[in-house]
Structure formats: C-alpha cells, structure tokens
Amino acid sequence: MSHACRHIPRMPVLSEHGIAYIWSITDNMRVGDMVDVMEAEAGAREARTFAKKRLLVASGKGGSSKTTTARHFSTAAAHAGLAVVTLDLDESPTLSTWWTKRPDTLPSIEHIRAPIHELVDLSDVDVEGEDVGAVIAARVEKEILGIEDYDLLIIDTPASMAAYPHHANALIRASDLVVVPTRQYDDDINSVTSWMKLVRDLGVDGMFLLSDTQRRESAFEDAKRKLVKHGPLCPIDIPHFADIPKTLSKGTSVIDMRRGRGREDYAAAFDVVRQKLGV
C-alpha cells in the first residue's frame, strides 16, 4: 500500500493489489507543493513509530450511531495529535462523503473507502473445494493488518454485517477494541447484545456506548441495567443533541466546535477509549 499524505486531497481506491491511494492536485496547488509535502510527511513518519491500535465500530443494528461515533472519535483523535485513519466499509458512503467535506484548516484524518463486498477479491475462490470462510477471514485480516502508519485506525461498518459473518469474525479478531453503539430502546438492545456476545466469544474487548440518549426517559436507566449484563458499558453516554447531526454535512463534528453540544460527552467517551487502548 502506498504511503498517504495528510494535506493533499487523495482518493482511496480498491485496486487488484488491495487498498491503494490516488493523489489529486487541486487548482491552487503545484506538483512541487505535493512533492514537498509528501517528502516532509515521509520524513516525519520515519522519525517515529506508530501505536497501530484498531478500533472497530459495529453493532449489527442499523441507525445505532456507528458512523456518528466513528466521525467523533476520529476528530477527537486528530485533535489529540494522533495519526488517525478511518476505514469506511459501508456500501452507502456516509463517512466517506463526510470526510471529503472536511475543511483543510482542521486537524486532518486519513481515510480509506472500501465497501465490505469489495474489501477482498473472492473471484478466484473455489466454493466447492475450499473452506470459503477461512479464505475470507485470512484475506480480510491481511487487508486490515496491511494498513500502515497510524496510531488509531477506526473502522465504520454497515448495518448489514450479519450478512458477512466471515468478514465480521475477521474484523473483530483484527481489532483491539470493538465499540458497540446503541440507542436505549429494547429493540436496539436486543440486537446489540448478540453482537457483543460474538465479540466476547472471540476473546476481544468490547464496550457498549449508549448514544442518542434521552436521559429523562425511564428507558435510559433500564438500558444501562440491561446492557451491563452482557458486557462493559462506557460510563459516558452521548445524549441527543441537534448539533451532532448538523455537523455531518460540514465534514466536522461537535469536537471541532468550541461550544458544540455533545462535545464534552464525546471527548470524555473518547478518553475512555484511549485509556482502554493505551494511545
């Protein structure tokens, strides 16, 4: 995989060799500028080692705040000076579209788009003669472990993960922590607890994150009591705030806003993640 640069627009693509990046030059930029920045970045990368922690955001439930969590944690990581890469596995590219809008003036995030069904090429796999699950798992793991030069890789997943059980297993196993966002209502909780069971059965750390909460409803406290029966719960929840969806179309998050409502909640939840991962 080619090295990535944080200041020049680049387009991640899936090539026959896996995930790769294409550089693009904007109107107000010269090729010389790009080379200078790439060389400076390469020098900086050689000068330090990377923590290479992988955080999977997944829940097996649609609309549970996975993408919202990924964009807030990635901006929190970028503000903290971590080299952060986001990987968007969703077929509908909400996180990727958000990333393309991110203003250059804000702490930067590297990004890879790889819809789950294209993450690995399976055209050569003999469905009769091979253990397809094992082949998928090995290729997914190789792809994830092959990503370079980051302190924190944040992987956003589609709601359809259940349709990709071998991908899901490999992604979980390749992760240091799986954050499982959930809303506070019973149907949400029932879906995400089975996902947490899978994570724990695979021997990987998981943590529920109650999101889009309504703290005054009785369902909020009920949800906490139910979730802790199934796995660790982040001690910080993320309440419902109108500022949070508003930042999606701007390429930002409430972490980027001085007085964004929900900023302190996401910052504190990210502190919990950092402690768990040791980054």
Ligand X SMILES: Nc1ncnc2c1ncn2[C@@H]1O[C@H](COP(=O)(O)OP(=O)(O)OP(=O)(O)O)[C@@H](O)[C@H]1O
Nearest distance from residue 262's CB to ligand X, in Å?
Answer: 6
Q: Give the single-character DSSP code of 161.
A: G
Which residue, 67 or 96, has its beta carbon nearer to ligand X?
Answer: 67
Nearest distance from residue 30's CB to ligand X, in Å?
Answer: 38
Please calculate the CA angle 43-45-47 and round it to the nearest 5 degrees. 70
57-86 residues near Mg ion, rule: CB under 5 A:
66-67
Q: Could you report how far apart the first and last alpha carbons of the chain are, in Å?
A: 24
In total, the chain counts a number of residues equal to: 279
Burial bucket for residue 239 (CB in 10 Å: 0-12, 13-18, 19+): middle
Which residue, 98 or 150, has its beta carbon nearer to ligand X?
Answer: 98
> Per CB under 6 A, does 214 bind ligand X?
no
Phi and psi angles of residue 67, each rounded to the nearest 5 degrees, phi first = -65, -40
Nearest distance from residue 216's CB to ligand X, in Å?
Answer: 15
- Which residue in the set 62, 103, 133, 235 belongs to the binding site for ligand X (CB under 6 A)? 62
AA identity, residue 270:
F
> Per CB under 6 A, does 263 bind ligand X?
no
Q: Which does 241 bind (CB under 5 to 8 A by kind): Mg ion, ligand X, none?
A: ligand X
> Per CB under 6 A, does 90 bind ligand X?
yes
User: CA of 147: how far to CAs of 19, 90, 94, in Å?
Assistant: 8, 18, 21
Q: Which does 63 bind (CB under 5 to 8 A by kind): ligand X, Mg ion, none?
A: ligand X
Nearest distance from residue 62's CB to Mg ion, in Å?
Answer: 8
Residue 272's CB is within 10 A of a number of other CB atoms, namely: 16
> Per CB under 6 A, does 67 bind ligand X?
yes
Q: Which helix (H) or strand (E) holds 210?
A: strand 206-213
- Stretch binding ligand X (CB under 6 A), from 34-42, 125-133, 196-204, 239-247: 239-247
> Per CB under 6 A, does 173 bind ligand X?
no
126-165 residues near ligand X, rule: CB under 6 A:
158-159
Query: Between β-strands 18-23 and 10-15, what pairing exists: parallel, antiparallel or unpaired?
Result: antiparallel
Nearest distance from residue 266's CB to ligand X, in Å?
Answer: 9
Q: Are 231 and 200 in contact (CB under 8 A)?
A: yes
Residue 227, phi-psi category: left (phi > 0), alpha (psi -120 to 50), beta (remainder): alpha
Q: Catalog residues that contact Mg ion under the rule CB under 5 A.
A: 66-67
Q: Catalog residues that contact ligand X under the rule CB under 6 A.
A: 62-68, 90, 94, 158-159, 211-212, 238, 240-241, 244-245, 248, 262
